[in-house]
Structure 1
Amino acid sequence: MRRPKKGPKPENSRTVTQWGLRGRIPIDPLKPQYIWDNYYGVPVSIYYLEDNTREMTETEKTDFLADWKAFRQRYLKIISDELERLREEARKKE
């Protein structure tokens, strides 16, 4: 996963929750357009472009509507785990 450079968030990107409200879900969660993180580098919001989303299945819609927060947290965990894996890999190479 290549971490997107810091800079302005693209205007046409949306968070997982925003896409979920439109009935869409990221195709590849490890290819965000922008990651907004806190002071410690922990992802808080992850933004995707429409071309990296698809229509949700009925099961995904039900899951999303049942618990938006858990749905969002799942994607934050995917990104956090991948960033930690990349940091660990970089430490081993040093």
Structure 2
Amino acid sequence: MTATPTEHRAKIAEARNVLGEVIARARFAGEPTILVNRGKEAAVIVNHAFYEQAKKDRALIELLKERAEEGRAGNTADARIKGDALYVALASAERDLDD
């Protein structure tokens, strides 16, 4: 299991002054920086590999949701059961992440 990377927080104005350092931390150390604007999280600077993996993960989740809906609307009882099972598993995983 890999260690969780250090997560940094910085006001946008402060990060702008040390942008090279923020980018280097993301790129070489894999340490994201959360940019804060007026006390609210506005954006995150991450390395490119993390961004690409996040896009793939999001696409996979969307595809699984589509497959679950297709299954739930299927022509056979077996397809509907499998679609329901996938739908329930996805919903459960999302709840686990929100906790």
Q: TM-score, normalised by structure 2?
A: 0.30
For the pair shown, the structure with the greater C-alpha radius of gyration is 2
Q: TM-score, normalised by structure 1?
A: 0.31
Which structure shows the bigger proportion of residues in helix conformation?
2
- Taking CA–CA contacts closer than 8 Å with sequence separation of 6 or more, which of the two structures ends up with the larger relative contact order? 1
